[in-house]
Amino acid sequence: MNGERVVVVGDAHLGAAGPGDEEAFHEFLAAVPDLGTRLLIVGDLFDFWFEYRAVIPRRPFRTLTKLAALVERGIPVDLVGGNHDRWGGSFWSRDLGIPYHREGADLTLAGRTTCVVHGDGLASDFKLGARILSRMLRSPITTAIFGALHPNLGFAIADRLSGTLGESNRSGAVADEASRLQEAWARALLDSRPEVRLVILGHTHRRALVEHAPGRWYLNAGQWMADRQYAVISAERIALLAWPERPGA
């Protein structure tokens, strides 16, 4: 029996979330070795991240040190890029020892072949403007232009645009529809890829755990920001939790 326990968290939006959310997230990171054996962050860890060649943002420094401490303790950490923090690069793997998956990844989690994607740019983004913005954020031209800006100017621009990047993950009917379409996308992927047993998405800030077929699941762990939600995957089960709730408690 595979003994791996994967802690899944996403949509923390640190930098825009309240200070209480950030402090709680640091407490959560310190507790990860007691919660599981591996950590998966499903995008939008930060409300904005851009990796310059010789500069890293100052605001996330404390969170980066907490993540580095986890890796030093032997806890594997994977980070998937989200629409707020897709502009990562070698800093994560070279300096922190954390694989950075810009567009998602196929991973084996607790013995399950798993497709992990943040979720922006999929069927959940049913607005034309959201799809256009998603493509712009992925464009090498956009990245090159932004990288040419002085970091102080770049981060000031990002702060002003932050509210426009969360296009579909709002409350109410829009979020309900986005969540429904996201589940439909996950089900279609499970149908088209029989080797995949688990699809993990974020982005909509709506948690979900759906058994599409026996032993084959779609998971959205929900949002850390405000709700402090997370999930734990083991070979036996997938648990939806909210910090400070713990598996088996």
pLDDT at 4 over 90: yes
Task: Answer yes or no: is pLDDT of 138 > 80.
Answer: no
CATH class for the domain made up of 6-242:
alpha beta
Structure tokens that stand for 35 in this block: 């919660």
| Range picked from 108-117, 126-135, 140-149 for highest mean pLDDT | 108-117
pLDDT for res 80: 96
What is the per-residue pLDDT for 40? 98
Average pLDDT, integer, range 31-51: 93
Provide the H-helix boundaries in the chain: 19-35, 61-72, 90, 128-138, 140-147, 151-161, 173-192
**229: nearest Cα among 216, 238, 218, 220:** 220
The answer to whether the peptide bond before residue 194 is cis (omega within 30 degrees of 0) is no
DSSP 162: G
| Lowest mean pLDDT, pick from 4-8, 103-107, 150-154, 219-223 | 150-154
How far apart are alpha carbons 93 and 97 in whole angstroms? 4
Give me the percent of the chain exceeding a pLDDT of 90: 61
